[in-house]
Amino acid sequence: MLSSGLIVTVAGLYLGGLFLLAWYTERRVDRGAGRFVGSSLSYTLSLAVYCTSWTFFGAVGSAARNGLEFLTIYIGPTLMLMAWWFLLRKLVRISKAQRITSIADFLSARYGKSAWISALVTVIAVVGVMPYIALQLKAITASFNALSDNPDFPPGPAGEHGAFGDTGLWVAVCMAAFVILFGTRNLGADERHPGVVAAIAFESIVKLFSLGVIALFAIYGLNDGVRDMFYRAAEYPELQRLYMFSPGFEPRWVATIFLAAAAMICLPRQFQVAVVENSDERHLATASWLFPLYLMLFSLFVIPVAITGVTHLPQGANPDLYVLTLPLRFDHPYLALLAFIGGLSAGTSMVIMASIALSIMISNHLVTPLLLRLPRFSQPGSGDFSGTLLAVRRMSIAAILILGYVYYRAITSTNPLASIGLVSFTGVAQFLPALIGGIFWRNGTKAGATAGLLAGFAVWIYTLLLPNFANAGWPVASIVTEGPWGIEMLKPDAMFGLAGWDRLVHGLFWSLTFNILFYITVSLFTEQSAIERLQSAVFVDIFQHNTANVDDALQRSAHTEDLFRLTQSILGAERAYRLFRDYARRQGRRDHLPVPDPALIAYVERQLASSVGAASARTLVSRIVKGERITVEAVITILDEAQEAIRYSRELERKSHELEETAEKLRRANEQLRRLDLLKDDFLSRVSHELRTPMTSIRSFAEILVGEQQIGSMQTRRFLEIIQQESERLTRLLDEILDLSRMENGQVAWSLLHVDARDVARQAIAAMAGLARERGHRLIDNLGNRPLPVFVAPDRLQQVFINLLSNAIKYNDGPEPVTWIEAVETDAAFVEIHVRDNGPGISREDQEILFSKFARGWSEQARWQEGSGLGLAISRQIMVQLDGTLSLFHSSPRGSTFSVRLPRSGG
């Protein structure tokens, strides 16, 4: 046992240190130096405000009484954090964009900035959380009494000295003073309290550490390690539920996992730390694994304390206080003091955060709307409102703690800690349908949300709170035992005959059933107003819309002076001045008065909302602006039209793409046709040109022969020879044209044979040997000795070689003209022969038309040359018919190489 004085001194020092920490942090943040405060670690630790004295004391009690069920309270949030990408991230993003200050503000902003909804949510939250605050008072009081030499041990809330002798009252008073000092030092630009968050984070470390120490003490101080602990536990049959589930555990197990997950976002203080105080979305990523780790460690520490409490303490000791009584009984008073501090930190952190969150809600959503109706505040610029607001906050904090104390005195004496907490969880879980529906379902209406909340709240009071009151001796016991007016079907713990279920599961099931039913049904049968539709679009599609565009589209007008005076009265002169000056600077203006464009009005409204909530801010702003109603409709249209337009333009884009492709195909086909047309014209003109030359000479010689009488017989003979030569040339030309056109039309019937391509090439060399010798041209046979079997028409292939050789001979006017005919090593499927010369080469433009008909015909140089100019075109056609290719392999001023390529025959 320790003296009360010592405990009070230590607790006072601890709280004083906490206050210093908060004060110091805020100062550092003001200077922009708070590194730890903005970190994801402090964010995660501040989430651990979830672990209250219910966890610290109650979880051990719950484990000793009900076995592993206490784990659900920590598994639920684990799963909720793991799903951060879908839920918490969206909540945070929306709250940032809308300057949300609390969960009531969030729901009200979603459902048309309705003042009615935020007031309703505030009332539910206060009523729902009140038992929870009472629970903290109870836990701290009980732990104080257990630790001190207070004669009340085992503890009861009221001693013989009346209320003033009750430790609970003094705990409540201390807490109230503490929170007022802490949470309302100033009216934040947004509802962020970096100092408080730092203190909460610190408390999270303290409570985890102190429970860990007690757990280690239990395992190694009182038992001989883990194995020994479980070995001893086996002797106590009541401990079996700690490693085996009792039959019928399922409904409660599932229900409490769900409840705990919902509480993670629905409890006002959790919403405050997780969403409102979040300064960076990326902190969620860290918290998604670090916070589950924290919870897992906490749960891990609970088990040994619970087991050892049962095995080492006398029967009848209060399991909720095992954490304290274990070290006390085995004479470690300072360990017990550490445990007390842990419990104190768990309790205070919850009370601080919960009462800050609730006081913001009460002052913004219950008191401010009423104050704004007073004549004193209903005129713009009617004095400084921020002082009033702070006073309201302080009074709400005091009121919350007084209510908590009253509840604690009235009710909680008989219930274990854990069951009180779960009743609170179920109360705030009523926000869940409107919250989830609000961010994923566009068509939830204000009326639907109101109906759902009211129905769920009513059923919750009836099924869960009423039996508690009855237990406490209120005159409602007959309703609980017999049903209202004796109607059994409506009994609070067996509605519609659903008897035999656990009261919590039963109450949760019915309250949420009615809640969801009303929310959806009423939403389906009511219409959203313009502002509701705007807000629902902004909330549901937060990741798609750019909210700035919405601002610009809201065409409202106001006088800058009115806006300034309004801002000044709510936020104070200095902040208002800075806000307007900065905005004016951004607009590029010299003076401090910005142009009152719609974006400024929206910006001012959001800034006000960060102090008084969305609904009140809207009321205030709409008093001094004009022309909103029509334009909100317009915004909706813009939003809807924009989406329609995006869809439409995507469709158009797709279609125009298809059109483009078709046009391209057409263009290509047309191009080809035009080229063919050109080729045809070209061909005709060349043919007529080529025919005309011999015809002209035949005709002129014939005319001479007919007209001139004095020509000698020698000359006559010469003329006739020329006429004959020209006729032969004409015939050859016509033959070739016919030949070519037959091949092009595929009308050929050649007899194909298996031959050696070398033999064919050598025959061609032999045929050209005479011409070559005449020109002093050397033909070199490099065909080698390996056979090149092909399946061809031999004389046609020979024609190709002859054409190539004759070209090489004819066009080479160098001093030492040479042509090489060589076999080229290729793969097994083809044979290839190159005809290489050391002639002048073929110019680049000639290369392009080399294989077309009469390619050479135009060249003046070639005018005197023999041949029709069809040779290469025919050769190429021959090769095509033989399934081979003829191509210009290489050409430079030092010579050209033609390649003849044919499929190798198998035979």
Residue among 602, 483, 151, 176 nearest 355 (CA): 176
Distance in Å, CB of 42 to other proteins, minimum: 15
Distance of CA 639 to the CA centre of its chain: 22
Provide the phi-psi class of 786: left if phi over 0, else alpha when psi is between -120 and 50, else beta.
Answer: beta
Distance in Å, CB of 322 to other proteins, minimum: 19
Distance in Å, CB of 576 to other proteins, minimum: 11
> In whole angstroms, what is the distance from residue 902 CA to residue 56 CA?
91
Nearest residue (CB) to other proteins, 603 versus 820: 603
Distance in Å, CB of 225 to other proteins, minimum: 8
Q: 61: how many CB neighbours lie within 10 A of its CB?
A: 23
Distance in Å, CB of 190 to other proteins, minimum: 7
Are 88 and 81 within 8 A, CB to CB? yes
Distance in Å, CB of 510 to other proteins, minimum: 22
Residue among 99, 105, 125 nearest 117 (CA): 105
Nearest residue (CB) to other proteins, 282 versus 626: 282
Are 60 and 305 within 8 A, CB to CB? yes
Residue among 588, 623, 632, 589 nearest 604 (CA): 623
Nearest residue (CB) to other proteins, 288 versus 569: 288
Distance in Å, CB of 67 to other proteins, minimum: 10
Distance in Å, CB of 30 to other proteins, minimum: 7
Query: Residue 382, class by beta-carbon neighbours within 10 Å (0-12 exposed, 13-18 middle, 19+ buried)?
Result: middle
Distance in Å, CB of 264 to other proteins, minimum: 12
Residue among 420, 226, 214 nearest 325 (CA): 214
Q: Which helix (H) or strand (E) holds 791?
A: strand 789-792
Distance in Å, CB of 392 to other proteins, minimum: 19
Are 275 and 191 within 8 A, CB to CB? no
Strands 753-756 and 789-792: antiparallel
Are 463 and 506 within 8 A, CB to CB? yes
Nearest residue (CB) to other proteins, 548 versus 666: 548
Distance in Å, CB of 257 to other proteins, minimum: 7
> In whole angstroms, what is the distance from residue 832 CA to residue 791 CA?
14
Are 369 and 616 within 8 A, CB to CB? yes
Nearest residue (CB) to other proteins, 188 versus 212: 188
> Which whole-number Å values give the CA distances from 545 to 534, 551, 638, 647, 726, in the listed order?
11, 11, 12, 15, 86
Distance in Å, CB of 456 to other proteins, minimum: 23
CA atoms within 13 Å, Cβ hemisphere of 885: 7
Are 188 and 278 within 8 A, CB to CB? no
Are 260 and 72 within 8 A, CB to CB? yes
Nearest residue (CB) to other proteins, 201 versus 755: 201
Nearest residue (CB) to other proteins, 565 versus 575: 575
Nearest residue (CB) to other proteins, 135 versus 260: 260
Nearest residue (CB) to other proteins, 228 versus 795: 228
> Which whole-number Å values give the CA distances from 684 to 429, 678, 692, in the listed order?
92, 10, 12
Nearest residue (CB) to other proteins, 27 versus 742: 27
Residue among 398, 425, 39 nearest 269 (CA): 425
Binding site for other proteins (CB under 8 A): 26, 29-30, 32, 68, 71, 75, 78-86, 89, 93, 96-97, 99, 186, 188-190, 192, 194, 226-227, 230-231, 240, 242-245, 249-250, 253-254, 257, 279-282, 285-286, 288-289, 292-293, 296, 300, 303, 574-575, 578-579, 582-583, 585-586, 603, 606
Looking at residue 37, the DSSP 8-state letter turns out to be T
Helix, coil or strand: residue 75: helix
Strands 818-824 and 830-837: antiparallel
Residue 5 — φ and ψ, nearest 5°?
-60, -45
Residue among 822, 836, 828, 820 nearest 758 (CA): 822
Nearest residue (CB) to other proteins, 297 versus 454: 297
> In whole angstroms, what is the distance from residue 478 CA to residue 486 CA?
8
Nearest residue (CB) to other proteins, 161 versus 227: 227
Please name the residue that has the structure tokens 């709400």. 396
Helix, coil or strand: residue 83: coil
Are 424 and 129 within 8 A, CB to CB? yes
Residue among 878, 876, 871 nearest 887 (CA): 876
Nearest residue (CB) to other proteins, 175 versus 602: 602
Copy the structure tokens of residue 629.
Answer: 């109603």
Distance in Å, CB of 255 to other proteins, minimum: 11
Helix, coil or strand: residue 626: strand
Distance in Å, CB of 228 to other proteins, minimum: 8
Residue type, 428: V
Nearest residue (CB) to other proteins, 301 versus 377: 301
> In whole angstroms, what is the distance from residue 620 CA to residue 443 CA?
27
What angle in degrees, to the nearest 10, is found between the helix axes of 282-312 and 88-98?
A: 120
> In whole angstroms, what is the distance from residue 821 CA to residue 761 CA?
8
Distance in Å, CB of 587 to other proteins, minimum: 9
327 preceded by a cis bond (ω within 30 of 0): no
Distance in Å, CB of 286 to other proteins, minimum: 7
Nearest residue (CB) to other proteins, 30 versus 677: 30
Nearest residue (CB) to other proteins, 174 versus 179: 179
Distance in Å, CB of 821 to other proteins, minimum: 58
The angle formed by the CA atoms of residues 81, 84 and 89, to the nearest 5 degrees, is 135
Distance in Å, CB of 495 to other proteins, minimum: 24
Nearest residue (CB) to other proteins, 237 versus 316: 237
Nearest residue (CB) to other proteins, 241 versus 623: 241
